[in-house]
Structure 1
Amino acid sequence: MGIDKIVGKPISRLEGREKVTGMAKYAAEYQADNLLHGYVVSSPITKGRIIDIDITKVIDIPGVVEVISHKNRPKLAWFDLQYTDMDAPPGTVFKPLYDENILYNGQPIALIIAKDFETARYGSTQIIFKFEEQDFQTVLKDNLTRARPAKKGFATALKPPPPPPTGDFENAFENAAIKVESEFQHGTEHHNPIELFATTTIFEGNGKLTIYDKTQGTINNQLFVANLFGLRYKDVRVLAPFVGGAFGSGLRPQYQLFLCVMAALHLKRNVRVVLDRKQMFSFSHRPPAIQKLRFASDINGRITALGHEVFAETSNFEDYTEPTASWSHRLYAAPNTLFEHHLIPLDVYTPMDMRAPGGSTALHAIECTMDELSYKLKIDPLDLRLINYSDMDPSAEKPYTSKALRACYLEAAEKFGWDKRSPEPGSMARGNKLVGYGMATGIWDAFQFPARVEAMISADGKLILNNATTDIGTGTLTIMTQIAADELGLNIADVDFRYGDSKKPFSMFQGGSATTSSTGVAIVIAARALRKKLVRKAGEMKDSPFKNVAAEQVVFKGGNLLLKEDMKTFISLKEIIAFNAGRPIKTTNMGKPHVLKLRKYSLATHSASFVEVEVDKDLGVVTVTRAVTAVAAGKIINPKTARSQILGSMIWGISKTLHEETIMDARLGKYINANLGEYHIPVHADIGELEVIFTEEKDDLINEIGTKGVGEIGLVAMPAAISNAIYHATGKRINKLPIHFDELF
C-alpha cells in the first residue's frame, strides 16, 4: 500500500511535453477579442531633449488607433510620486514617457497602437522627432575619476556593503613575503532570454485588469501596477504560468508592462505590447566592472592580506550595486583586509541582477588572483586553497550551517584527473594544441524568502497547492510537486501544484536561487498542518480508530491514513472528505527563515570547478574540452533538474569567459551589437564534456528540508577556472573578459 519517496528521484519536468509541443502559452500568445497591438519607439540619441514630434504620417495609416508620447500621455498614472518595486535600487525609478528628457539610448519615447502588430511597427517608422542632443558619458574606464560611494540604501539583506577594513592592510601588503597585484576588466552582458519581454492586458471594465506578463514575480508586478495606476490590488491580476527564461531580467517590471497597462486603461481595450530583440538591449544588463586586487601571503602560502577594490557602472538616476568586493573574505581568512566598492554614474539604463550578480564577477578576479599567488609560491593551486581552507565564514566570524567544500575539491579533482597535471605553464600539449588545466572555487548565498502556501484535499482525494511563484524554466513545478507528494504520501499524479498567478498566496519573485527553499519550505509547513487537520477530522468519524490519535501516530501512504502501530487500520482521504460533506479540507501557512536561530551562522552554497582547455598554437583559438563541477547544496530534491541547472550555469561560465559581451560605441553612446547574430553566445560546437557532481551535504539547520539553491552556484567558479587553464596552457595571464584569441597570438 505504500509508495517510495519521490524527493531525490530524477523526475522529468512535468510541463515538458507542453513546452516542446507548443501547447504552453507565453505572455504574447494569449488571445483576446478586439486586441490592439502596441509598438515601442526607441530613442536614437543617447542624451538630450525631444524638441518636436510630428505624427501626421502615422495617424493617417489605416489601422493606427493612437500615438502616445510625453506630450499626450493620459493622466492615469501617479507620475508625480516616487514608485518602486521589490527589486528597485535607491534613486529615482525611470518613468516611461514622463517628459521630453532623454536619459539613455534606446529609451522608449512613444507608443504606436494599431489593430495589428505589423501596422504598429510600420507606424513607428513614420513618426518624426526633432532632438536637441547633449554630451554624454557611457564608457566605464573613461570615467574612473567620477567614482563615488553608493547612496543610502546600498545596505540590504540581499546586497550588503563591503565589510569594514581589518588590521593594517597597507602595511601588511607592503611587507608581505609573497604578494600579487592585478587588475581585472569585465565587459557588459545582456540577459537575452529566448522569450521576448511582452505583456497582454485584458481590460475587464470597472478598473479590473488581467495581465499576462513575462516576469519572475507576479505579485511584484501586481503591486507595481496597482500602486502606479491607483487601482485596488484585488482588481489587478498578473499571470505568468510559463516564462521562457529570465536570468534576473524579469525581477523588476520592465517598461513594456507600464506602456501596455497605460494604453489599455486609456483606450479601455485589450492591448498587447511586445519588445523586439534589439529593444531587449535597452534595459537589463550586467554592469561592466574594473577590479583591483592585492593579495599577500607568508612563504608557506597562508594568506595575510586581502584587498579588493571595485569600480562598477550605474545609471544617472538609480544606484545599482551588487556585492562584489567582499566574497574573498567569505572563503579565505586574513588578519588584514580592505574592501571598497565605487559607483560610476553613466548615461545608460540602470543595470540589473544577472545570474549570480556580483559573485560571478568577483570570483573570477579572486580565484585568478589566488591562482597567480600559487604560481609565485610554487604551490599547487588546489593545495593553496586547502592551506587556506576555513570551516568558518571569516568575514562574519561565524560557522556555516554546513560546508562540504573540501569534499567538493577532492571529489572533483579525482574525477577530473588533476593529479595528472604538469605544473609548468605550456608544458602540456596534444598535437598542435596546448593543453591547460585550471581550477577555481565557487560560493553563493543560500537565500530563503517568506512564502505562503494554500494546501487542500479535494473530493477525489487529490492534493491541490496554491502559490504565486513562477517557474522560469528551472523545474519549479516538478520539485514542488515532489516535495508535496512525499509529505502526504501521494503519487505525483495525485498532486496539483498551481502557480504563476498573483491571486494565489504570497511569493517573492523567483531569483537568488531561493525558490526551492522558500516555496518548498512553505509547502512542507502547509502539508504538515493539513495532516493534523485530516487526522483530527478522521477522529470525528463514527467509531473511528483515529479518535484521540496524534498526527505523529499516523502514516500517510497511497491516499490513505494508517495507524503506525497497526498498519492494517486505515482510512482513505476520499472517505474523510466525504464525511466533511464533500467540502475540501484546507489550510494556508507561511514558511519563513528562522532568523533568530540562524543569526549565529552563515549560509552559503559551495562549489569547485576543474577545467581543461585546448589552445591552438597558431591561431590562439580556445576550446573548453571538458569540465567537472562539484556542488555542495544540501539536499538535492531532483538530481535531474538540479544537474540541468548546473550544466546551464557551466555553459554560461564558458560564454562569459570566451564569448559574451555587449560592445558600447563611445561616440554614439549605444550598444553596436544589439542582436543575437553579433552578441556571441556558445553553440553546441563550443561545448565539450561537462560533468556535475553533487557532493553529499546534510544541513539540518538551514531550513525544514535542508535545501540550498543551485541556480547560480554552477556559474561562479567557471570563468576563473577557464582563465586559469588558459594561463597554464600558454603562460599568458589575461584578466580581461571575454578572452579573445588575438590576445593569445
Structure 2
Amino acid sequence: MSNAIGKPLSRVDGRAKVTGSAKYAAEYNVPELTYGYVISSAIAKGKITSIDDSEALKLDGVLKVFTHENRPHTAWFDISYKDQDAPPGSPFRPLEDATIKYSGQPIALVVAETFELARYAAGLIQVQYETEEHNTDLEAHLSKAHKPSVGVASLLKPPPPKPRGDFDGAYSSSDAKVAESYVHAVEHHNPMELFGSTVVYEKDGKLTIYDKTQGATNSKMYVTQVFGLSSDDVRVISPFMGGGFGSGLRPQYQLFFAVMAARDLQRSVRVSLTRQQMFTFGHRPATVQNIALGGSKDGKLNALYHQAFGETSQFEDYTEVVVNWGGMLYPAENVTLDYKLVSLDFNSPLDMRAPGGVTGMAALEVAIDELAYKIGIDPLEFRLKNYTEKDMNEDRPYSSKELRACFLQGAERFGWSERNPQPRSMRKGHNLIGWGMATGIWDSNQMPARAEAVLTVNGRLRVSSASADIGTGTYTIMTQIAAETLGMPVEDVFFKLGDSEMPFAPISGGSWTAATVGSAVKNVCEELGKKLFKLAKKMPNSPFADVKHEQIEFADKHLRLKSDPSVSVSLQAIVDQNNGRAVSETATSLPNLLEQRKYTRSTHSAVFVEVQVDEDLGAVKVTRAVTAVAGGRILNPKTARSQIIGGMVWGISKALEEESAVDHRFGRFMNHNLAEYHVAVNADIHDLDVIFVDEVDTIVNPLGVKGLGEIGIVGMPAAVANAIYHATGKRVRDLPIQIDKLL
C-alpha cells in the first residue's frame, strides 16, 4: 500500500492554475472564431412588440442578429427536456417567442467577427415592449403560496414528513416558548469565472464545446436533446472551472446561444456573459420562515414547528430542503413541518452551496438559541440535552453520527466554558464581545458513476471519469485514491476529468463527488488490479501461479505476497508481458441502496464564533471561529480544511453582507455587480480553525467518506447571529445582519 489517502497532498492541478496554463471555457482560441453578445430584456414581464436591428447589421463584420423572429428550429420545443438538476415544470427556452418572463431575460444574440464589435452592435439595437404588471416581492404574496410539484428531484429533495405527535397541544403547555419569523434575502453565486461557451464547428458538422459547467455529461445531454443531435456529433470539454457553487449544475443560456449560432452560421462561436448577466439566471431564493418551539423547564424540546415559504419562477417549481432538518437533529415528539412555494416573475432559482440547508439552519439554530435563553440554559448544554442518535423524521439510525464529539471538541478548542451567558456582559474597549454557536448538518449521498483505469506501457497509471473539479480538489483526491488502491506513488498517477467522452459521472454538486467518483475510481483500480494479477499468473515461472487473489497486495509499484513481500513482480514487468499494449479496465460504482436505506447518512458540524460589535457604529467583526466536523474518512486534510474554511468564509459573508437587492417597481436586481453585491474580503476574515473529528462509517460508501463541500457553511450564519445577540442583546432575524439593523 502507498498510504496516499489521508496525506495533506498539495493540489496536483495547482501549478497549472497559478501559472495560467489551465485553460477555461472562454480561453480556447480556434481559427476564424466569431463572438456572440447577448442582449437582455429591460422589463420584468410583458412582450416584445418590435426589434430593430437594421443599424447593427450595417456594420462590417456583424454576421447576424438572432431573435425570436428568426431563431433556427430546435428540437426542444417539441419535447419536454430535463437536465440532471431540473426541477418540476417547463425549463426556460431562450428566444421561444416574444414573451418576457423576467427582467434580464436573454432576448437576442449579436454575432460578429470580434467581441468588441458584437458588444457595440448590441447597443444599436432598438427594442420596444408592451409591459404587464409583475410580481417579485415574496413577502407581499405569501397568500398565493402553493405546495411544490412532485418530480424526480424529490428523491434528493424530499418533502417535509407528515406531522408527528400533537404540536398545538405540546406547544400550548410548554414552560418556555419561541414563535418568530425569519427572513432570508436573495443571493447570487458570483463565481470569479464568468459563464462562457466556445463552440468549435468542425467541417463535418460535429461540435467540440468548451463549456463552463459542473457536469460535461449534463451539457452534452442538453445540447443533443435541445438541438436533436447524435451523441457522436457532440463533445463537451471542461477540465477547469473558476468557481461554480451550484451555478454550473444546469446548462446556462450562453451554451444554447453558442451552439445555435455555430450550427446556423457553420462557424466557430464563443458566447460569454457579462458580470451583470450573471444575475439573470439562477440564485439562492428568498425565504420567509415561521418557527415555533416549546420547551420544558429542564431544557427538553417538546414541540417544533417550522414553516417556510420559498420563491420560485412562474414556469418551474424549484424546491429546497429547508424545514426537514429540525426533525432530524432534535428528538421533539411533537413536530409539524411545512414548505410552500410562491411563484414570482424571476428566472428559476438554482442550487447554491448547501441549498436549503444553510437557509433552514440559519433560522432554526437562531430559534434554538432563543429558546435556550428563555429556559435559562447554556445553548451548548441545550443541544447536548436534546441529542438524538436517530433521525426522528424517518425513525431510523444514522450510519454514523459523531456530532456530540464535535460539540465537545469544538467547545474545548474555542474556550466556551469561559463564556459569561449574560448578553452585553463581555467587552473590549468600545467593542461588545459576543460568543455564539450553532449546529450544522448536510446529506451524505452517493450516485452512480463510471471510471477508466489504464496502466500505460511506461508503467504509469491514468484514471479518468467525466466529473468536474469545481475547486474542491477532485483532481487531487482521485489521484490519491487511485495511488493507494494500486500501490503507486502519486507522481506516477494521472487523473483526468471534464470530458464527455470519458466514462459517465453525474454533475458535481451536493457534496457527493468524493463519494461517487471516488468509489468508481477505487472500484476500477481494484478491477484493474485483478486483471494485472491474472497477467502475472501467466508470466513464465510466475511465483503467483497457484496464489489466490486475496493473498496478494499492491505496494511500491509491485504486486506482492502479503505473507512474504519479497515475493513480488513490478507492475512495469507485468505490462511488458502484454505484447506492448497498455492494460485497461472500465468499471461502474453503484450505491448499495438496500443497505443504505436502512440509515440516514449525514455530515455534522458544531460551529463556535466570536464577534466584536462596535457599540457606537454597529459594525461587526468576526474575530475568530472554530468549526468541528464529523465528515467520515478524510481523504486529504489539506484540501478538506480548505473546503471547510471556504464554507466558513462564505457563512460570514452570508450572515453579514450578501444580498441581491430588488427594486420591486422594476422587478430587477439593482446591485448586479461586484462593487455593490458585497462579499467578504480578506480584511473581513480573521482566525478560523477547523477540527476533523474521527468518524468511521462503513455504510455510506466503500471509501467511508461523506463530502465536505457544503457542511462548512451550514451552521456559520446562525452562529454569527447568535454571537451578535450575545454581544448586543439585540436579536436580528433578517439576514444579512447589516449595520442599520444593529443601530
TM-score with structure 1 length normalisation? 0.99
The residue type paired with residue 387 of structure 1 is: K
Q: 1:539 aligns with which of 537, 543, 550?
A: 537
Letter in 2 for 1:491: P
Moved more, 470-479 or 297-306: 297-306
Q: Do 2:205 and 2:266's aligned partners in 1 also have CA atoms closer than 8 Å?
A: no
AA of the residue aligned to 1:452: R
Q: How does 1:619-638 map to 2 (within 5 A)?
A: 619-638=617-636
- Distance in 2 between residues matched to 1:276 and 1:557, nearest whole Å: 50
Distance in 2 of aligned mates of 1:135 and 1:324: 30
Which of residues 153, 176, 179 is equivalent to 2:177? 179
Q: Which residue identity lines up with residue 33 of structure 2 in the other structure? A: L
Which residue in the other structure is 1:599 paired with? 597
AA aligned to 1:9 is: K
Match of 1:265 among 252, 263, 278: 263
CA distance in structure 2 between the partners assigned to 1:393 and 1:166 by the alignment? 13
Per-residue deviation, 1:154: 7.3
Q: What does residue 341 of structure 2 align with?
A: 343
Q: Which residue of 2 aligns with 1:569?
A: 567
Tell me how far 1:21 sits from its aligned partner: 1.2
Kindly indicate whether residue 109 of structure 2 is the aligned counterpart of residue 108 of structure 1. no
Contact 2:86 2:153 in 1 (8 A): no
Match of residue 726 from structure 1: 724
**C-alpha distance 11-645 of structure 1, shift in aligned 2 (>3 A):** same
In structure 1, stretches of 5+ residues that fail to align are: none
Deviation at 1:566, TM superposition (A): 2.6
**Amino acid corresponding to residue 369 of structure 1 in structure 2:** A
Match of 1:330 in 2: 328
How many residues of Structure 1 are paired with residues of Structure 2 in the alignment?
743
Runs of 4+ deviating beyond 6 Å: none
Shift in Å at residue 66 of structure 1?
0.5
Q: What SS class does the counterpart of residue 77 from structure 2 fall into?
A: coil
**Unmatched 5+ stretches in structure 2:** none
Secondary structure at 1:190 match in 2: coil
Q: Secondary structure at the match of 1:561?
A: strand
Structure-to-structure mapping, 1:649-728, within 5 angstroms: 649-728=647-726
- Cα pair 2:326 2:364 within 8 Å, conserved: yes
2:633–2:695 contact (8 Å) kept in structure 1: yes
- Equivalent position SS for 1:111: strand
Which residue is 2:275 aligned to?
Answer: 277
Q: Which residue of 1 aligns with 2:473?
A: 475
Match of 2:286 in 1: 288
Deviation at 1:155, TM superposition (A): 6.0
After TM superposition, the score normalised by the length of structure 2 is 0.99
SS of match in other structure, 2:440: strand
Find the counterpart in structure 1 of residue 385 from structure 2.
Answer: 387
- What is the deviation of 1:77? 3.7
Per the TM alignment, residue 498 of structure 1 is displaced from its structure 2 partner at its CA by 1.1
Alignment partner, residue 27 of structure 1: 25
Q: Letter of the aligned partner of 1:501 in structure 2?
A: D
Query: 1:525 deviation in Å?
Result: 1.0
The structure 1 residue matched to 2:248, chosen from 235, 247, 250, is 250
Q: 1:637 to 1:690 in 2, by over 3 A?
A: same
Q: CA deviation at 1:4?
A: 4.5
Deviations 1:103-155 (A, max 9, x none): 00000000000000000000110001111011000111111111111123276
Q: Is the 8 A contact 2:2 2:483 kept in 1?
A: no
* Larger CA deviation: 185-194 vs 394-403: 394-403
Q: 8 Å contact 1:155–1:161 — kept in the other structure?
A: no
Shift of 1:565: 2.7
**C-alpha offsets along residues 326-372 of structure 1, whole Å, 9 cap, x if unaligned?**
11011001111111111000000000000000000000111101100
Q: Distance in 1 between matches of 2:514 and 2:550?
A: 25
Corresponding residue number in structure 2 for 1:644: 642
Partner secondary structure for residue 156 of structure 1: helix
Structure 1 range deviating more: 598-607 or 152-161: 152-161
Structure 1 residue 394: deviation in Å? 1.2
CA–CA distance in structure 2, aligned partners of residues 448 and 544 of structure 1 = 40
Aligned with 1:316 (options 296, 311, 314): 314
**CA-atom RMSD, angstroms?**
1.0
What amino acid is the match of 2:15?
Answer: R
The offset of 1:737, in angstroms, is 0.2
Whether the aligned pair in 2 keeps the contact of 1:197 and 1:256 (CA below 8 Å) is yes
1:459-512 superposed Cα distances (whole Å, 9 cap, x missing partner): 111111110001011110000000100001100111111111010001000000
Q: Does 1:133 align with 2:119?
A: no
Q: How far apart, CA to CA, are the structure 2 residues paired with 1:514 and 1:655? A: 24
Is 1:515–2:501 an aligned residue pair? no
Any conservation in 2 of the 1:538–1:546 contact (CA below 8 Å)? Answer: yes
Quote how far apart the aligned CAs of 1:572 are.
Answer: 1.3
In the other structure, the counterpart of 2:147 is: 149
Q: Which residue of 1 aligns with 2:13?
A: 15
The residue aligned with 1:118 is 116
For the residues of structure 2 that align with 1:652 and 1:20, how far apart are their CA atoms? 23
Distance 1:87 1:433 in 2: 46
**C-alpha displacement at 1:377, in angstroms?**
0.6
Q: Give a deviation string over 1:46-73, Cα, whole Å, max 9, x none.
A: 1001001111100011210000000001
The amino acid of 2:107's aligned partner reads I
Task: Show CA shifts across 1:646-695 (max 9, x none).
Answer: 00000000010000000000111101100000000011111110000001
AA aligned opposite 1:515? T
Q: Could you tell me how far apart the structure 1 residues matched to 2:561 and 2:311 are?
A: 62
3-state SS of paired residue (1:374):
helix
Paired residues of 1:35 and 1:271 also in contact (CA < 8 A): yes
SS at match of 2:648: helix
Higher mean Cα deviation, 587-596 or 560-569? 560-569
Per the alignment, residue 216 of structure 1 pairs with 214
- Give the superposition deviation at 1:592: 1.6
Query: Match of 2:156?
Result: 158
Verify the 8 A CA contact 1:247 1:355 in the aligned structure 2: yes
Measured in 2, the distance between the counterparts of 1:566 and 1:339 equals 60
Query: 1:417 Cα deviation (Å)?
Result: 0.5
CA distance in 1, matches of 2:539, 2:506: 40
State how far apart, in whole Å, the 2-side matches of 1:518 and 1:5 are: 21
